[in-house]
Chain A
Amino acid sequence: MSGETQGKRKFSRRDFLGLATIWAAVISGFTVLAGVFRMTKANVYYEDSKKFKIGKPEEFPIGTVKQLDEKRVFIFASNDGLHAITSVCTHLGCIVAATDWGFQCPCHGSQFNSDGKVIAGPAPRPLPWLEVSRHVDGNLMVDASKEVKPGTKVKIYL
């Protein structure tokens, strides 16, 4: 190099190219990894939405017990508010039936109390409670992909 660069740190062409290659490799490696991780979860799926409307609050007067067959949930409305419990048995996925005391699975005899807790049978986990929310158009919505703590009830009459 000419005299002007003399005072600065000596930096040979070879060093520069070597460093540039290493950094290029590191950056592209990270970019590829980031892309790969993003790919593991699709933006959208070829299936029904897990979040669905169940109707207007007026359709759920206090005391309502409603089973939505297609959506596989029970909806309960009580003084404290509204809650949704799945109707899919945590054992092997049969649809449970609501009884006076809770839920009964027809397949292998699992029983759950009215909060979804297992009281008998092979079911490994309680029936999950699902998130209930409100849509801007006033309808109530259940999100079957989001579990909430048992006992969470939503006040629906504002």
Chain B
Amino acid sequence: MYQRFYTALLIVSSVALFIFTLMAGYREITPDYKSYKSEYRDLFRSKATGEFMKKKAESIDFSVQQVYLGKLNRIDRCINCHLGVENPLMEDAEVPFKMHSGNYLETHPVAEFGCTVCHYGQGRATNAEDAHGTDRETHWDWPILPLKYIDSACAQCHDQEMLAENGADRVLRGEKQFVEKGCRGCHKVNGIGGVLGKALDGIGTQPRAYFPMRYVQGDKTAYTWLKEHFDDPRSIVPESEMRIVLLKDEDADLLTTYILTIRADEMPRDYRRIRTGTQEVPGGEELYKMYCIACHTTGKYSVYDEIFKRTIPAIMNPTFLRVADDNQLRRFIEDGRANTQMTDWKEDAAGLTDDEIGRIVEFLAKSRPAKRGKLFGRSIFDGDTARGRDIYETRCALCHGEDGMGGKNRLGISLVTPVVKEADPEFLLQTVRDGREGTPMIPFGSSGINLSDQDILDVVGYVRTIKPTASPKE
């Protein structure tokens, strides 16, 4: 009984092993690219006219071919399936036999450039799945680059003007998005930029394992991650504090194209065609866009920000500018605002030079009204705080809260932050007297509620003594 069972088992497993061995052998001698080659040969035969082309069609080499690129440290075997890239007869054939579009190969011969230096993917692979590397299971970190982002690859060697002249302007347009949406307000590149977000150096070559793919809808590639994350940051990284700054798909694609050009590697010198021209010095307005606009937007209206849980001040509001002189503005920018998202922007922190800060201040100051407010002439707070408290409770508590903490459901800002605590007397006094145009803060001086200067001195004196009661309101 037992003996029979084991005999049967032996026979069955031997046969199975034999079949597997045959299959392995068969796969070894018929790799995928061979069937592509015979398909290509048939197509070539049917298209070939003239003796020369006919002979070429018959002489297709069925062994594996490759382009060895010593200087680029690459070996590309794409041409085993993409057989017609250099064949003019294949101009309107289907992929993978189609001829390469445009005249790119004339200036970038396959023998010198290969394929993966522009298109990425795994050059050494000999089947489509591994070569394209789009599937996460292929474990290839730089999968084939979708054509809508292909301009980013050109930027490895070409400067942007050159690209723009030759129709590859998507990098330039992407950079415009990058500047105008104010990405550097939070992200450092080359050591310059804000600190709220991650530094972006080398992001374009970052392996895909570094991107959390859990919520990505499309291909699990860095390209899709970036694009979907620009569409809606919190759908990809739920705890992200990134501001949604983009409006249309197209812009997200452009920004992705630009982001992919921020690489950690460099092409060999022989390959680069970067013209080193004089860099244009960005003006105040451009700098404002680059570093400030993501949070302060147009700078005209203060808004309570759901993500930051605080009101972001309108820094081009005339009444604000009337009380904040250039030196003060410069100090705000250089040293940041403690306990807020406003980082210190000076050269040894976020990296703006004195000169650049000067230009931003100059730009902001353009919105300052010519007429300055009447000075209180105080350098210390000497109001009567007991009197001030009474005034506060009747006049201010409604918006700023009894506890002075402002917050989400109140119109006023928190008065217990260092921003208020450390402000100059003159700045606070005039703000109370003249109000803040464009915000719910009305003038409390003679042009509004009509408190006397002494009342204002007292109330501001009291405000300065309020202590935070608990953690700031959510």
Contact = CB atoms under 8 A, between A and B. Distances in A.
Contacts of B63: 43
Contacts of B89: 136
Nearest to A43: B64
Nearest to B90: A136
B424 interface: no
A149 to B, nearest CB: 20
B52 to A, nearest CB: 7
A136 B86 CA distance: 7
Interface stretch (B67-75, B170-178, B211-219): B67-75
B87 interface: yes
Nearest to A52: B111
A158 B52 contact: yes
B205 interface: no
B369 interface: no
Nearest to A28: B21
B108 to A, nearest CB: 13
B205 to A, nearest CB: 24
Interface string A37-73: 0000001111111001100000000000000000000
Contact of B70 (A48, A134, A137): A48
Interface residues of B, number: 18
A53 B109 contact: yes
A135 interface: yes
Contacts of B273: none
Contacts of A47: 68, 70
Interface string A20-38: 0000000000000000000
A121 B190 CA distance: 60
Contacts of A53: 109, 111
A88 B86 CA distance: 30
Given A46-B75, A49-B111, A158-B52, A136 B88 contact: yes
Interface string B82-93: 000011110000
A46 B66 CA distance: 10
A49 to B, nearest CB: 6
Given A46-B75, A48-B68, A48-B70, A137 B88 contact: yes
Nearest to B59: A133
A44 B66 contact: yes
B53 interface: yes
Nearest to B51: A158
A68 B100 CA distance: 27
Contacts of A45: 68
B395 interface: no
A151 B63 CA distance: 31
Contacts of A137: 86-88
B467 interface: no
Among A52, A53, A137, A138, max chain B CB count under 10 A is at A137
Given A49-B66, A53-B109, A136-B89, 5 more contacts: A45-B68, A48-B68, A48-B70, A134-B52, A136-B87
13 contacts: A44-B75, A44-B77, A46-B68, A46-B75, A48-B70, A49-B68, A49-B111, A52-B111, A53-B109, A53-B111, A136-B56, A137-B86, A138-B88
7 nearest CB pairs, A to B: A137-B86, A136-B87, A44-B66, A43-B64, A136-B56, A48-B68, A44-B64
